[in-house]
Amino acid sequence: MSEYKYAKENMSLYDAVRKTPDEAKKTIGGGDSMSMEIGTIELTKEEANDLFLLAPDSFTITDDRKADWAIECILKEEAERDRLIELANEKIKELNERKAKIAEKCEMDNSYLKMLLRQYFETVPKNATKTQESYKLLSGKLVLKRQAPEFVRDDKVMTEWAKASAPSFIKVVESVNWADLKKQTTVKGEAVVFTETGEVVPGVVAKAREDVFEVTK
């Protein structure tokens, strides 16, 4: 059994490498070969990730060559992620189209029978309430629901009318123009200061956020 295989099975790659450094030096096939050595063993990207998880103090990037290798690994992983996401989106689109066709077919197949049932419904005594009429059968129930009207509004016309005839129904919404106010402030710790007067603006705090580190092409 190789030292690396032993390490993988026993979750102790760090110990295996340190126990027999001379014997452990070799290139393990598969994946993208990592052309930097951790101690005395040359690792693939996947094995380097395992080593980092098991013994982060033994995994370091110390020069441009190693840094460039790490960037290549990250960009390759992100490209693979994007490929699979695109594939998944295409599959989702295909399944949504199939779902829509199934629903459409069901509606078309049932439309004729629904029409006949609606005609029959008009001939039987129904149980009536304020919102619906119904007729019960063994396999189900026929229901006619009374619909409230759909209000198609022109807010501009309604607003002009309300200003003149029903002003109590006009809503006035006040809010701060934060986009412009922000340009006139400075941040001191968590305080937001109105630059013109030096006054701390109440109702807003500046919460510090960690800088974002990115790897890009």
Q: What is the arithmetic mean of pLDDT over 44-59?
A: 63
Please state the three-class secondary structure of 82-113 as a single string.
HHHHHHHHHHHHHHHHHHHHHHHHHHHHHHHH
pLDDT in tens, 8-26: 444 344 444 443 334 433 4
Asked, for residue 151, whether it belongs to a domain, the answer is no
Asked, for residue 179, whether it belongs to a domain, the answer is no
According to DSSP, the β-strands at 127-128 and 41-44 are unpaired
Domain that includes residue 9, residue range: 3-60
At 215, the pLDDT band (50, 70, 90 cuts) reads confident
At 45, the pLDDT band (50, 70, 90 cuts) reads low
Asked, for residue 95, whether it belongs to a domain, the answer is no
The count of structural domains within the chain is: 1
Query: Starting at the edge strand that comes first in sequence, how are the strands of the sheet with 199-200 ordered?
Result: 185-188, 191-194, 199-200
Answer whether 14's CB lies under 8 Å from 6's CB. Answer: no
Model-level pTM greater than 0.75? no
**Length of the chain, please?**
217
pLDDT in tens, 66-84: 899 889 989 999 999 999 9
What's the rounded Cα separation, in Å, for the pair 25 and 41? 4
Q: What is the arithmetic mean of pLDDT over 38-45?
A: 49
Residue type present at position 141: K
Asked, for residue 15, whether it belongs to a domain, the answer is yes
Asked, for residue 35, whether it belongs to a domain, the answer is yes
- CA neighbor of 78 nearest in space, from 152, 70, 62: 70
Asked, for residue 159, whether it belongs to a domain, the answer is no
Q: What is the arithmetic mean of pLDDT over 34-47?
A: 49
Asked, for residue 181, whether it belongs to a domain, the answer is no
Asked, for residue 217, whether it belongs to a domain, the answer is no
Helix (H) or strand (E) holding 6: helix 3-10
- pLDDT higher than 60, residue 86: yes
Helix (H) or strand (E) holding 199: strand 199-200
Q: Does residue 212 sit in helix, strand or coil?
A: coil
pLDDT in tens, 191-203: 999 999 999 999 9
Instruction: Tell me the range of 8-12, 29-33, 148-152, 156-160 where mean pLDDT is highest.
Output: 156-160
Between the two ends of the chain, the Cα-to-Cα distance in Å is 40
